[in-house]
Amino acid sequence: MKTFFPALVAAAGLLLAGVAPAKDITLLNVSYDPTRELYRQVNGAFAAQWKAQHGDSVTIQMSHGGSGKQARSVVDGLSADVVTLALAYDIDAIADHGLLAKDWQKRLPSNASPYTSTIVFLVRKGNPKDIKDWPDLVRPGIQVVTPNPKSSGGARWNFLAAWGYALKQPGGNDDKARAFVRELYGHVPVLDTGARGATNTFVQRGIGDVLIAWENEALLARQELGKDKFEIVVPSLTILAEPPVAVVDANADKHGTRAVAEAYLQFLYSPQGQEIAAKNYYRPRSPEVAARYAGQFPATHTFTIDEVFGDWRQVQAKFFNDGAIFDQLGAGN
Amino acid sequence: MSGRHPSRPWGWPRRLVHLGLILAALVFLMLFLVLPLATVFVEAFRQGVSPYVASIQQPEALSAIRLTLLVAVIAVPLNVVFGVAAAWAMARFDFPGKALLGAFIDLPFSVSPVISGLVYVLLFGAQGWFGPWLDAHGVKIIFAVPGLVLATIFITLPFVARELIPLMQSQGSEEEEAARVLGASGWQMFFRVTLPNIRWGLLYGVLLCNARAMGEFGAVSVVSGHIRGLTTTMPLEVEMRYNEYDYVGAFAVASLLALLALLTLGIKTLLEWRYGDELAHAPGGH
Amino acid sequence: MRRRVLPGFGISLGYALAYLGLIVLLPLAALAWKASGIGVRELLHLLSTPRTLAALRLSLGGALLAALVNVAAGLLVGWVLVRYRFPGRRLFDALVDLPFALPTAVAGIALTTLYAPNGWLGGWLAPMGIQVAYTPLGAFVAMVFVGFPFVVRTLQPVLASLERDVEEAAESLGARRWQTFFRVILPMLAPPLLTGFALALARAVGEYGSVIFIAGNIPMRSEIVPLLIVQKLEQFDYAGAAALGVVMLLLSFALLVAVALLQRWSRRWAEHAA
C-alpha cells in the first residue's frame, strides 16, 4: 500500500505529460473480479523478492472487473503487461487481436494456470433446503443464484459444471444436459453480470437458497461475511476451473517490462506464490503446498474442459455466442 | 392563501384537501428522495465513526477523490467557455439552423451514459479510428485521465449553455449595445456588462455541471479501465468497494458524494433565494 | 442591425460549433460508422431477437410508466410546493433536485439497500408479496427516481405565473373545484407537463448506473437496453453495440425534437393567450 502514493503521483505525471517514470518499474495486471485479495498479497511478496534480487522497486497496478470486460479493455488499449483472467477464451480473444502469441497457454506449466478452483454450492447455515447435489437445485421452490454466463467468465464455469454433471450421469446426452440446464436457469431469480455481484446478491441481499460459486469465492465469502451464516456443499461431480495467466507480449515489449512480467507469473508457481494462492482459497498446483492445505480443500471428483468439451473456442461457439445454446434457453423460458 | 374561499357545502373542507395533498406530496418525497439519502449515511456509519474515517483515509479513496477533483477541474471550465460562447451566439444573433444547434447542445442529456463512453472507445480505443495513430505516438486517451475527462465533458456539456441561453435571451442586449455605442471594445463590453449580468446564472450552471461531473458513473466506467489508484473516480470506487464486500467503505465514499450533492443543492437554493430575479428558470436543463 | 453593434458572432458561433463538433458530433459519427458495419437485415434481426425485444420493452415501457408516474407525482409535488405554505417547504423544494445532484451509482446502491427483501422498505413490502429489488419493478423505481425532478421543475414556473383570477372567475361562475381544475388549470399546465414527461422519459430510457444495481439484470425479464449494449461490447460485438446505441440515440433525439416543438408550441400558445 505504501508504494501507492509515489506511484500514483508518478503515474499521474506520466498520464498528463507523457513522460516515462524514472526508475521504478510499473506493471499493470489486468485481472478478474475475485482475485483482489489474492493479488494484493502476491504483489507485495513479489515486489519484496524482486527488490531483494534486483534492487529495483516494482509497483504492480491492478485492474479488476468481469473477465470478458477486462479482455475487451485490453483489446481496446488498456495496456496490461500481464493478464490473469477467469478463462482461457478471454485470453484467446486478446491473442486474436495480435497482442500475444496464440500458443500462450503452452508457455507456462499446467495450462498456464498456476492455481485452480472448482465449482461448489454456498447454502445458508444448517442447509435448510437440504441441498446436497446438482439435482437438488431444480427441486420445486429452490432459488439458485448464479451470474450471467454471457457476461461473466466465472459463470461460464458454473454453466459447464452443471452441463457436464448432467452429461456424465448414466444415460446422459446433450439433450438431457440441455433439459437439466434449462430447468436450472429457470430457478434463477437474479442473473448478475459478474461473480461478485451474484455473491453480493446471495449474501448481502438474502436472495436465493443456493449460490453456485467458485470454491475460492465461497470460502472467502464465508470468511468475510460470517462462518456462522453459510455452509459449503461440494457436489458429487464438478468441474476443475483453471484460471489462466499470460504476459501480453505487445505491451510488455513496448514498456520494456517483459523480464519482470515473466518473473511475476513464474512467482505464482513458486512455493511462496502457491502458498499465497492456497491462503486465498485457490487450490495450489504444487502437491507439497496442497498437502499442507488439504484440510481446507475437500476431495472432489472433477472433470476438465478439455475432457468434456474440447476447448474454449468450441465451448464458446456451442454455448455462449449470440443465438447459441444459452440464448436458446432464455428464449424458451 | 387558502382562507379566501369558504368551503362549499358540496365539497370537502378546503383545508382538509390542502392537508391531504401536502401529506401525499411529502410522503412521496420522503419515500423516493429522503429515504435513499438517509440510507447512504446510515450504512456508512453502521459500524461507527472510526471505520468510516479509516475507510476514507485509505490511499485508494484519497486518490479517487483527487482524480475526481482533477477531472472536474478540467472538464467544468472547458464547458463554461463553451457555454458562454454558445449562449452568446444563440441569444444575441439569429442564424439559420439555430434550433438544430439547440437540439444538438441538449443531445448529451438524453444520450445513455453508456453510449457516451462507447463513442470514445470507438474513436480512441486500440481498435478505433484514431487508435493505431495514438498508439504509434504514445498518446493514451482511453483508460487514462484524458478519456475520463472527455467522457465527463460530453456528459456535462449542456449544463452551462442551457442555463445561460434563456437567461441572456430574457435579459436582452440593450445594455451591451449601449456599451458598444459608447465606445467599449468587445472584451470590455463582455467583462463589464455581460459577465456581471450573467454571473449568478453562470455560477448556477457551473454548480450543476460540477455535480454531474463528479458523480458520473456509466460513461466513465466504460473508458476507465478500473486501474485502482490511477483511473478510478469516486463513483467507480464506490462500485469497486461494493464488489469487495466492503459495504462500509462503499457507503463511506458514497456519503462523500451525497454530501457534495447536498452542498450543491444548498448553494443552489441560496442562489435562487438571493438572486432569484436574475436567474432564468430554464426548465429541463439539469 | 444588431449584428453590426454586437461583436463576436463569428468567434462565439465558430467556437461553439467546433467544440460541439469535436466533443459530440465526431464521436457520434464514429458510432454511426461503426453501426453501419452491420446491414439493415442484420439490424432488423438484432432488433427482433426476443432478448433485444424484451430489453426494449423494459427500457421503453418502464421509462414510459416511470414518466407517467412522474407526471402525476410531479403535478402533486409541484402544486403543493407552489400553492401551499407549510413548515419545511423550502427544504423539500431544494430536495426535489436531489436526483440531479446525487451520482447514479450512489442512488443505485441506496435504492437497492432500501428495497432488497432485507432492507427498510423491502422488508416491509415482502410480506405483502411485493418484491422490488431484482425485478423489473426495481428498474421502474430507479427510473422514477432519476426522472422525478424534470416534471416538477418544468411545472413550477408555469404554476407560479398562473393567474388566480382565472380560477376565481371560473369558481365564481359556479364551476366546481374539480371542474375548475380539469377544465381550466390542467389545460394550461399541459405544455409543461408534456415537456417534463418527455424529458423524464428520455432520461429514464438511457439510465444505466442506478438501474443495473437494482434490476437483477435477467435477460428477457429485467435487462435494460444500455446493459445489453455493454454486454455486446464485452463480447467484442462492436457493431451490434453501436447499432443498438444508434437506435437509442435516434429515440432520444426524437424525444428532444418533440420537446423543442412542444416548447415552441407552448410559447406561441402563451403569447396567443396573452
Residue B232 near residue B224, CB atoms below 8 Å = yes
Give residue-wise pLDDT tens across range A129-149: 999 999 999 999 999 999 888
The CA distance from C108 to C36, in Å, is 34
Positive or negative, the CA dihedral C263, C269, C272, C274 is: negative
B73–chain A Cβ distance below 8 A for any pair: no
Give chain A's end-to-end CA distance (angstroms, integer). 48
Residue A21 is predicted with a pLDDT of 43
More confident residue, B8 or B267: B267
Is C13 domain-assigned?
Answer: no
Is C29 domain-assigned?
Answer: no
Q: How does residue B278 score in pLDDT terms, banded at 50, 70 and 90?
A: low
- The four Cα atoms B268, C213, C229, C245 give a dihedral, to 10 degrees, of -20
Asked if the model's pLDDT at residue A251 lies above 50, the reply is yes
| Mutate which: A15, A24, A39, A151, vs B, most B CBs within 10 A | A15
Contacts of residue C221, Cβ cutoff 8 Å, sequence gap at least 6: C54, C58, C135, C136
| Minimal C-alpha gap between B88 and chain A (Å) | 32
Is C2 domain-assigned?
Answer: no
Q: Do C218 and A322 make contact, defined as CB atoms within 8 angstroms?
A: no
Q: Do C196 and B284 make contact, defined as CB atoms within 8 angstroms?
A: yes
Nearest residue on chain C to B85, alpha-carbon basis: C12
The CA distance from C12 to A311, in Å, is 60
Q: Do B85 and C202 make contact, defined as CB atoms within 8 angstroms?
A: no
Residue A14 is predicted with a pLDDT of 46
Of B8, B89, B273, the CB nearest to C9: B89
Residue C256 is predicted with a pLDDT of 76
Domain of residue C65 covers: 39-273
| Minimal C-alpha gap between B243 and chain A (Å) | 6
Cell of A128: 435448510
Nearest residue on chain B to C153, alpha-carbon basis: B283
Cell of A311: 476447448
Total domains in chain C come to 1
What residues in C contact A189, CB-CB < 8 Å?
Answer: 134, 216, 218
B142–chain A Cβ distance below 8 A for any pair: yes
Of A205, A206, A330, the CB nearest to C220: A330
Residue B236 near residue B224, CB atoms below 8 Å = yes
| Mutate which: B245, B247, B248, vs A, most A CBs within 10 A | B245
Looking at residue B227, the DSSP 8-state letter turns out to be: B
H or E element: which one contains C9?
Answer: helix C9-20
Residue B89 near residue C12, CB atoms below 8 Å = yes
As a whole number, mean pLDDT of residues C35-50 equals 84
Q: At what angle are helices A271-279 and A36-54 packed, to 10 degrees?
A: 160
With H, G, I as helix, E, B as strand and everything else as coil, classify residue C204: helix
C199–chain B Cβ distance below 8 A for any pair: yes
Cell of C137: 419493478
The CA distance from A114 to A276, in Å, is 11
Nearest residue on chain B to C3, alpha-carbon basis: B93
Nearest residue on chain B to C21, alpha-carbon basis: B104
Looking at residue C57, the DSSP 8-state letter turns out to be: I
Q: Do B245 and A225 make contact, defined as CB atoms within 8 angstroms?
A: yes
Residue C221 is predicted with a pLDDT of 79
The number of angstroms, rounded, from the C-alpha of B183 to the middle of its chain's C-alpha atoms is: 38
Highest mean pLDDT among A1-15, B184-198, C222-236: B184-198
% pLDDT > 70, chain B: 92
Residue A22 is predicted with a pLDDT of 39
Residue A117 CB coordination number (10 Å): 27
| Minimal C-alpha gap between A79 and chain B (Å) | 8
- This complex has an ipTM of 0.83
Residue C149 near residue C71, CB atoms below 8 Å = no
What residues in A contact B145, CB-CB < 8 Å?
Answer: 12, 15-16
H or E element: which one contains A82?
Answer: strand A82-84
Is C27 domain-assigned?
Answer: no
Asked if the model's pLDDT at residue A2 lies above 70, the reply is no
Is C5 domain-assigned?
Answer: no
The CA distance from A110 to A95, in Å, is 19
Residue B56 CB coordination number (10 Å): 16
Looking at residue C220, the DSSP 8-state letter turns out to be: T
H or E element: which one contains C110?
Answer: helix C104-115
Burial zone of A305 (CB within 10 Å; 0-12 exposed, 13-18 middle, 19+ buried): buried
Cell of C238: 462492436
| Minimal C-alpha gap between B114 and chain C (Å) | 6
| Mutate which: C15, C69, C106, vs B, most B CBs within 10 A | C106
Interface of A with C in 243-282 (CB under 8 A): none
Asked if the model's pLDDT at residue C36 lies above 50, the reply is yes
What residues in A contact B244, CB-CB < 8 Å?
Answer: 36, 196
As a whole number, mean pLDDT of residues C106-115 equals 91
Q: How does residue A20 score in pLDDT terms, banded at 50, 70 and 90?
A: very low
Of B40, B86, B115, the CB nearest to C106: B40
Residue A302 near residue A237, CB atoms below 8 Å = yes
Residue C34 is predicted with a pLDDT of 85
- The four Cα atoms A209, A211, A217, A221 give a dihedral, to 10 degrees, of -20
Give the B:C interface size as CB pairs under 8 Å: 309
Of the given ranges (A133-147, A178-192, B69-83), which has the lowest mean pLDDT? A178-192
| Minimal C-alpha gap between A170 and chain B (Å) | 40
Residue B6 is predicted with a pLDDT of 46
| Minimal C-alpha gap between C124 and chain A (Å) | 14
Asked if the model's pLDDT at residue A320 lies above 50, the reply is yes
Residue B3 is predicted with a pLDDT of 42
B115–chain C Cβ distance below 8 A for any pair: yes
Asked if the model's pLDDT at residue A63 lies above 70, the reply is yes
| Mutate which: B22, B68, B176, vs C, most C CBs within 10 A | B22
Tell me the β-bridge partners of A322.
none
**Beta strands of chain B (E only): which ranges?**
none
Is C93 domain-assigned?
Answer: yes
Residue B117 near residue B37, CB atoms below 8 Å = no
Cell of A6: 509515489
Q: How does residue A13 score in pLDDT terms, banded at 50, 70 and 90?
A: very low
| Mutate which: A78, A201, A319, A321, vs C, most C CBs within 10 A | A201
Q: How does residue B110 score in pLDDT terms, banded at 50, 70 and 90?
A: confident
Q: Do B230 and A64 make contact, defined as CB atoms within 8 angstroms?
A: no
Interface of B with C in 10-69 (CB under 8 A): 10-11, 18, 21-22, 24-26, 28-29, 31-37, 39-40, 43
The CA distance from A13 to A30, in Å, is 21
Residue C129 near residue B263, CB atoms below 8 Å = no
The CA distance from A88 to A115, in Å, is 13
Q: Do C256 and B103 make contact, defined as CB atoms within 8 angstroms?
A: yes
Is C9 domain-assigned?
Answer: no
For cell 478540467, the residue is B74
Of C154, C203, C245, the CB nearest to B115: C245
With H, G, I as helix, E, B as strand and everything else as coil, classify residue C132: coil
Residue C149 is predicted with a pLDDT of 92
Give the A:B interface size as CB pairs under 8 Å: 86
The CA distance from A274 to A268, in Å, is 6
Residue C270 is predicted with a pLDDT of 62
| Mutate which: C46, C218, C222, vs A, most A CBs within 10 A | C218
**Residue C224's CATH number:** 1.10.3720.10
Burial zone of B40 (CB within 10 Å; 0-12 exposed, 13-18 middle, 19+ buried): buried
Give residue-wise pLDDT tens across range A37-54: 899 999 999 999 999 999
Give residue-wise pLDDT tens across range B35-70: 999 999 999 999 999 999 999 999 989 999 999 999
Positive or negative, the CA dihedral A83, B148, C251, C145 is: positive
Residue C78 near residue C159, CB atoms below 8 Å = yes
Residue C269 is predicted with a pLDDT of 66
Q: Do B11 and C86 make contact, defined as CB atoms within 8 angstroms?
A: no
The CA distance from B271 to C69, in Å, is 30
Nearest residue on chain B to A13, alpha-carbon basis: B145
pTM: 0.84
Is C192 domain-assigned?
Answer: yes
Which subunits sit against C, judged by 3+ Cβ pairs under 8 A?
Answer: A, B
Contacts of residue C235, Cβ cutoff 8 Å, sequence gap at least 6: A68, A72, A150, A321, A322
The CA distance from C58 to A205, in Å, is 23
Q: Do B125 and A61 make contact, defined as CB atoms within 8 angstroms?
A: no
Of B142, B230, B243, the CB nearest to A11: B230
Q: Do A79 and B243 make contact, defined as CB atoms within 8 angstroms?
A: no
What residues in A contact B229, CB-CB < 8 Å?
Answer: 4, 7-8, 61
Cell of A107: 508457455
Q: Do C236 and A72 make contact, defined as CB atoms within 8 angstroms?
A: yes
B136–chain A Cβ distance below 8 A for any pair: no
Of C134, C212, C237, the CB nearest to A207: C134
Which subunits sit against A, judged by 3+ Cβ pairs under 8 A?
Answer: B, C
Cell of A205: 441481499
